[in-house]
Amino acid sequence: MSERVPPKIAVWLLRKWGSHYHAESMAGDLIEQYRQGRSRAWYWKQVAAALSVAQAPAIRASVSAAGRLLARLVAEAAAVLSIVVIVDQARRAHSLAGATNVTFVAVLAALITVAGVGYLICTRPSKQGRMHALLSAWVLTFGVIALGAGTLTWADTLRADRCPAAACVCPVADHP
Rounded to an integer, what distance in angstroms lies between the CA atom of residue 174 and that of residue 162? 10
Range of the domain at 134: 8-164
The tally of domains found in the chain comes to 1
Q: Are 118 and 71 in contact (CB under 8 A)?
A: yes
Q: Give the pLDDT confidence score for residue 111 in this predicted structure.
A: 85
Q: Each residue of 69-121: pLDDT tens digit?
A: 888 888 888 887 887 777 777 777 766 666 778 888 888 888 888 888 887 87
Confidence tier at 161 by pLDDT (50, 70, 90): low
Rounded to an integer, what distance in angstroms lies between the CA atom of residue 70 and that of residue 66? 6
Identify how many contiguous H helices and E strands the chain contains and give both numbers: 6, 0
- Kindly state whether residue 115 falls inside one of the protein's structural domains: yes
Average pLDDT, integer, range 144-168:
60
pTM: 0.50
How many other CB atoms are there within 10 angstroms of residue 117's CB atom?
14
- Kindly state whether residue 175 falls inside one of the protein's structural domains: no
- Kindly state whether residue 131 falls inside one of the protein's structural domains: yes
Rounded to an integer, what distance in angstroms lies between the CA atom of residue 163 and that of residue 168? 6
